[in-house]
């Protein structure tokens, strides 16, 4: 054993793209990557939110840049990846995070709802992953981190389209890991349980539901966006070089219970 060969958790000089980085889990992950040394670009649909997010975190000494993009639109996705590469010369880390949810009982789901969720959460992940992989294959290195959910593996009411999209993400994480391994590209997923963000805040306001969620969680609390920061830095770093095709549950023990 040679301790000098232990890999680093630092990300200095790496270039990262975080989709859905204007708020919630995406913004926390983007900040964590930047604090660990990466040059980070955040992307989402609303320029005004992206601008505000970068200004807010600048107050804490965190520097992010941004590009407007809609992950459901192939041209917009290619433009986003081109901007990152033009600005920084490469793309080392993709955090494929943009997502949404429409919670409804099975019998009430409209085709429009299904399409919205699947287009954003699954087609979006595919389009962004494909565009990033083309760049990473040229570089012969990269880290792709897809943001899944415990509902990719756990059955819960009212999550039909969301669970289908996240189950799909788990599968394409494994397929991409196998396909991209020869190019030194690691592909992993993070699967959080409930994290308090704009996506979940209204859902968590129901006191009975909130109590049930906390009761299902070994660590006895709902997660915060910062709880996903450590796992994403780890998977993006050289410390995770021998990990690929893995789904890392960040769930306070929910799925183990």
Q: Which residues are catalytic?
A: 162
Nearer to ligand NDP, 97 or 135 (CB): 97
Query: Please, which residues have CB within 8 angstroms of residue 4's CB and are 6 or more apart in sequence?
Result: none
Q: Give the pairing type, strands 15-19 and 39-44.
A: parallel
Instruction: Tell me the C-alpha distance between 166 and 154, whole Å.
Output: 10
Q: In the bound complex, what is the minimum distance in angstroms from residue 128's beta carbon to ligand NDP?
A: 9
For residue 20, which of 204, 108, 146 has the smallest C-alpha distance? 146
Least distance CB 218 / ligand NDP (angstroms): 16
Q: How far is the CB of 217 from ligand NDP (least distance, A)?
A: 12
**Residues at the site binding ligand NDP, with contacts judged by CB under 6 A:** 19-20, 22-26, 44-46, 49, 69-72, 97-100, 120, 124, 147, 149, 192, 194-195, 197-200
Give the DSSP letter of residue 7: P
> How does DSSP classify residue 8?
P
Give the Cα separation of 136 and 138 in Å (integer). 5
**CB closer to ligand NDP out of 155 and 182:** 155
């Amino acid at each position: 054993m040679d301790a000098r060969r232990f890999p680093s958790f630092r990300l200095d000089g790496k270039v990262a793209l975080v989709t859905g980085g204007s708020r919630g889990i995406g913004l926390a992950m983007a900040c964590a990557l930047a604090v660990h040394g990466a040059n980070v670009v955040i992307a989402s649909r609303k320029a005004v939110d992206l601008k505000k997010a970068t200004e807010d975190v600048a107050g804490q000494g965190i520097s992010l840049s941004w590009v407007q993009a809609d992950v459901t639109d192939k041209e917009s996705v290619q433009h986003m990846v081109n901007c990152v590469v033009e600005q920084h010369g490469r793309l080392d880390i993709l955090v494929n995070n943009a997502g949404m949810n429409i919670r409804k009982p099975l019998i009430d789901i409209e085709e429009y709802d299904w399409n919205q969720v699947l287009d954003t959460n699954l087609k979006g992940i595919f389009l962004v992953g494909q565009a990033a992989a083309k760049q990473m294959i040229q570089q012969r290195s990269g880290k792709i981190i897809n943001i899944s959910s415990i509902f990719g593996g756990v059955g819960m009411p009212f999550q039909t389209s969301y669970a289908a999209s996240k189950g799909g993400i788990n599968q394409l994480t494994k397929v991409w890991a196998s396909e991209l391994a020869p190019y030194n590209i690691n592909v992993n997923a993070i699967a959080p349980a409930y994290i308090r963000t704009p996506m979940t805040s209204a859902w968590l306001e129901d006191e009975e539901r909130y109590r049930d969620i906390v009761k299902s969680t070994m660590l006895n609390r709902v997660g915060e966006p910062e709880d996903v920061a450590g796992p994403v830095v780890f998977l993006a770093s050289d410390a995770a070089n021998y990990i690929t095709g893995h789904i890392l549950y960040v769930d306070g023990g929910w799925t183990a219970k």
